[in-house]
Structure 1
């Protein structure tokens, strides 16, 4: 059954008061919102695991107030988009292709790509496939290379244990550890998150059969082992982003322990010496939960300047 924002709990709807839209991308049903003037410079907000567009709710109003168009898709497998059970659907190439299909369908031009978590590898892959559609790029708590992988992801407890063949599907699939305990531990103000946000993430992943991506996607993170399946993909990504000459900015949670800023934000500045930032805000890995409005203002200023820069795509 297709659900829309209107079908969600009242408290969730009140904090994400936008119209649900759907588009077929590569044979799958993708949910997204598209707000603001249709001819305004577009800002594409991309989330990761196990979030959905709701993560950006506090960033959207400042962008709209700046006169920008805001497009926020739910990645296939999350939110109100279709949630395929087949693991083969959830490759990085397929998820990037889904984003390409969306931006082609909407004919986005001069877009600012905003990439958080898995929105990085997927969104940057889409940007490299359609570079003529991009005006600028912002990265937040994400990466696009094989090494150094995070100490968090190399650790046996809890990360590699959670993604073991039997333990992973049980904890992340059956027990919903990622949208539950995982997100709760990855914000600064946990009391506020539990009261204001937790339901928004668990309510859209309430069926264990729909949580496939929460435990299959993390297995795509290369951690330097012979069994890494995406190392070649990440080498391609790094080569591609190093060649980009777009206006760029780096925004990071100062308390992020998954991708610590002193390693990962610094790596982005090594790749893009021209990048603005690092703009440090209060926040762990899901920094939008603690500093969404401030992030929205940073992005509004950045996207507006990028849209009016000489030579910007129109």
Structure 2
């Protein structure tokens, strides 16, 4: 599998992101390997908080949450999905499939030997992360889901998502930082915009970002639908603590929290919250508040 690797200097002196890079190799599915970047902060003997980002962001999105989680004594692991951040970026769009994304992150869990995990997931971080939970239930202690869902293609995804998918496929230049800026309630400054653009020197690095919207199961016969239904079979029996922390200003995922609260037994009795003044990328808008929510949840559900 051919891939591009973003030059290291693109990540120099990013505002609020003074974390040490870590790398591991994962099988690419075609006999080769890809390098995956991840942050690993805090005491190694502490139970991990796994932060899963979505599209088209990377672990930079979690820079406001990580300090608060570390202050509470947690180990924080934040991988960059393949095609994003400091991870390798396959050059062909067909190299990216939903199943491969799950496989690549499964390899991260296995190689780091993560257990007793608290997952925080948003956007595609949930589409991948909730699959990992369902396929490794003994390794996860609890879940916090923010602005995400696990679609099977059996329900209409809504016009906001359709509009986003059409835009992503038709726009001549995929404007990563502008997309994120447009999906936050705060206006991002130049340094923050540079951080989100850093992984993508030019359009050739964006094949994964372009492909992601087409991989969301939108019809019942989508290649991922069967395994997502199987994941829901597990989640509908999930008794461990499950918290929703959606924002108040996200048209893409609005209402997904109510679905999870209804279907997942572990949601019962939890202090579900709506994060005020948060857009789709609520970690950018309200990262410090989210860290407080996660810390409180962990402390309340030993």
With normalisation by structure 1, the TM-score equals 0.85
- Larger % of helix: which? 1
Contact 2:5/2:89, CA 8 A, preserved across alignment: no
**Compared CA separation, residues 214 and 134, structure 1 to 2 (3 A):** same
Give the superposition deviation at 1:124: 1.4
- In the other structure, the counterpart of 1:8 is 11
Is 2:284 aligned against 1:284? no
Do structure 1's residue 133 and structure 2's residue 139 form an aligned pair? yes
User: Which runs of no fewer than 5 residues in structure 1 stay unpaired?
Assistant: 310-314
- Give the structure 1 partner of residue 173 of structure 2: 175
Change in 2 beyond 3 A, CA 1:107/1:225:
closer
- The runs of 4+ residues in structure 1 deviating greater than 6 Å are none
Provide the secondary structure at the position in 2 that maps to 1:105. Answer: helix
Q: 1:35 aligns with which of 26, 37, 41?
A: 41
Q: Is the 8 A contact 1:44 1:114 kept in 2?
A: yes
Structure 2 equivalent of residue 65 of structure 1: 71
| CA positional deviation for 1:196 | 4.2
Shift of 1:122: 0.8
The equivalences for 1:123-162 within 5 A come to 123-146=129-152, 147-154=155-162, 158-162=163-167
Task: Report the Cα distance in structure 2 between the residues aligned to 1:30 and 1:139, rounded to whole angstroms.
Answer: 23
Partner Cα distance (2:225, 2:63) in 1: 33
Q: 1:220 pairs with 200, 215, 220, which one? A: 215
CA contact (8 A) 1:43 1:303 kept: no
Equivalent position of 1:312 in the other structure:
none
Give 3-state SS (helix, strand or coil) of 2:77's partner.
strand
| Counterpart Cα distance in 1 of 2:217 and 2:203 | 26
The alignment covers a number of residue pairs equal to 289
What's the CA shift for 1:267? Answer: 0.7
- C-alpha separation in 2, matches of 1:58 and 1:64: 11
- Give me the CA root mean square deviation: 2.0
TM-score, with structure 2 as normaliser: 0.89
Q: Distance in 1 between matches of 2:220 and 2:143?
A: 30
Distance in 2, Cα, partners of 1:225 & 1:162: 23
Aligned to 1:194: 189
Post-superposition shift, 1:52?
Answer: 0.4
Q: How far apart are 1:144 and its partner, in Å?
A: 1.0
Task: Please state if 1:255 is matched with 2:239.
Answer: no
Distance in 2 separating the partners of 1:268 and 1:126:
16
Q: Does the CA-based 8 Å contact 1:47-1:119 persist in structure 2?
A: yes
